[in-house]
Amino acid sequence: MRNAFVSALLELAASEPRIFLVTGDLGYNVLEVFAERFPERFLNAGVAEQNMTGVATGLALSGRIVFTYSIANFPTLRCLEQIRNDVCIHNANVKIVAVGGGLAYGPLGPTHHGTEDLAILRTLPNMTVVAPGDPVETDLATRAIVQHAGPCYLRLGKAGEPVVHERPPAFELGRAIEVRSGADVTLISTGGTLAMTVAAADTLASRGVAARVLSMPTLAPLDADAIARAATETGRVVTVEEHGIGGLGSAVAEVLVGLEHPIVFRPLRLARRVLKTVGTQDHLRAKQGLSPDGIVQVVEAL
């Protein structure tokens, strides 16, 4: 995802002179190509995310389309007050990019986990929250947020995420993408859990369960119509996210509670506790049931 983002940003910056990139002393071996091609539109603000966000807001209010970039929680939680007061209240054209959402930086411990970001940022005024599911969606999302005037949050994986979409799907901010059709259960994924969700759907199909798979690359605004339609047609909904309470599962529950017909619902997400285990992303995911087998077990229990 990270490489897809940088590739798209380079292409966009070549034709859009307003694009400006500010990093919080991150992106080595990734962002150099942008700095070399557009040195007058690149700034390393250092390990000073609050200042980075304030500078980005000033640039945006001067007519720029500004991207800030750092690891998971650092461009979000460390500078939350600046995002709320500077970026969102002023509806500034700042695009906050977090690389390594969820447990991608698992070996570095809980200080580098991004597991509360979606819950917090989707509550902020004027903020569009985007978590693409694979490199194809990342490319499309980057282009979409450049066209969108106002604050955006782009939550990315780290690197090496598999491509799920064989061809680019129709992409629009605030709209879900149907990846698989099915009438027995709906699986809704956001961010980097899309590949495992599709793998789970394939396993379920081999066992006679037709699972509909929705990729939800935008959490705010949320595609409530797609959720309501899928829930009504299948009667069962399972959400899958590499995030804690308050993210996709909570957002979907807010939609389901307003439906006339009862729906069986299970959120598959990270537990609300500090992870004291250090390990790879896949290891930490699996310990909390975030795997194709974990998804299959939840569905079969319904």
Closest alpha carbon to 189 in 160, 159, 153, 165:
165
Per-residue model confidence (pLDDT) at position 72: 86
CA atoms within 13 A on the CB side of 272: 4
CA atoms within 13 A on the CB side of 241: 33
Q: With cut-offs at 50, 70 and 90, classify the pLDDT of residue 102.
A: very high
Residue 159 has pLDDT above 80, yes or no: no
Q: With cut-offs at 50, 70 and 90, classify the pLDDT of residue 261.
A: confident
- What mean pLDDT do residues 223-229 have? 98
| CA separation for the pair 152, 258 (Å, rounded) | 27
CATH number of 177-301: 3.40.50.920
3-state helix, strand, coil in the chain (%, to 5): 40, 20, 40
Q: Where are the beta strands (DSSP E) in 173-245?
A: 177-180, 185-189, 211-215, 218-220, 236-240
Per-residue model confidence (pLDDT) at position 222: 98
Residue 208 has pLDDT above 80, yes or no: yes
Element (H, E) at 20: strand 19-23
> What are the boundaries of each domain within the chain?
2-155, 177-301
Choose the catalytic residue: 49, 137, 241, 242.
49
Return all residues near 34 (Cβ < 8 A) that are at least 6 apart. Answer: 6, 9, 10, 13, 21, 42
Per-residue model confidence (pLDDT) at position 216: 98
Per-residue model confidence (pLDDT) at position 104: 92
Active site residue 49: yes
Is 2-155 assigned to CATH 3.40.50.970? yes
Closest alpha carbon to 204 in 288, 301, 294, 300:
300
> Is the overall model pTM greater than 0.95, yes or no?
yes
Same fold, 2-155 and 177-301: yes
Per-residue model confidence (pLDDT) at position 160: 83
Residue 253 has pLDDT above 90, yes or no: yes
Return all residues near 101 (Cβ < 8 A) that are at least 6 apart. Answer: 72, 114, 117, 131, 155, 156, 157, 191, 192, 242, 243
Per-residue model confidence (pLDDT) at position 23: 97
Could you give phi then psi for residue 239, rounded to 5 degrees? -100, 145
SS3 96: strand
| CA separation for the pair 19, 153 (Å, rounded) | 16
Residue 52 one-letter amino acid: M
